[in-house]
Amino acid sequence: MSFERCDINNFVPPYPYRWRVHTRLPERFGQRLRVICRGTMNSCEVEFEDGYRAITSRWYMRKVAR
């Protein structure tokens, strides 16, 4: 995916989600992340801005407000 040619109306930030739970990975609360791939049973692989990756539920993240 390339972000060189982006329009203000359809720009997608590189890390459009944030971690929203304290119970799993509490040190990551509020950090930005992106979805690498989506799996079955509402699971996904995510990557944080520092490169850390985890397999988790999609309920554990929320979209960042523009």
Q: Which amino acid would we find at residue 52?
A: Y
Domain that holds residue 42: 17-63
CATH of the domain at 47: 2.30.30
Average pLDDT, the chain: 84
In-domain check, residue 11: no
From CA 6, how far away is CA 53, in angstroms rounded?
26
Minimal CA–CA distance to 16: which of 3, 32, 40?
A: 32
In-domain check, residue 31: yes
| pLDDT at residue 20, rounded to an integer | 95
In-domain check, residue 2: no
Number of domains in the chain: 1
Choose between 63 and 65: higher pLDDT: 63
In-domain check, residue 12: no
For 10-27, write each residue's pLDDT tens digit.
555 789 999 999 999 999
For 19-53, write each residue's pLDDT tens digit.
999 999 999 999 999 999 998 899 999 999 999 99
Q: Long-range CB contacts (< 8 A, 24+ apart) of 11-15?
A: 13/64, 15/48, 15/49, 15/64
Query: Whole-structure pTM over 0.85, yes or no?
Result: no
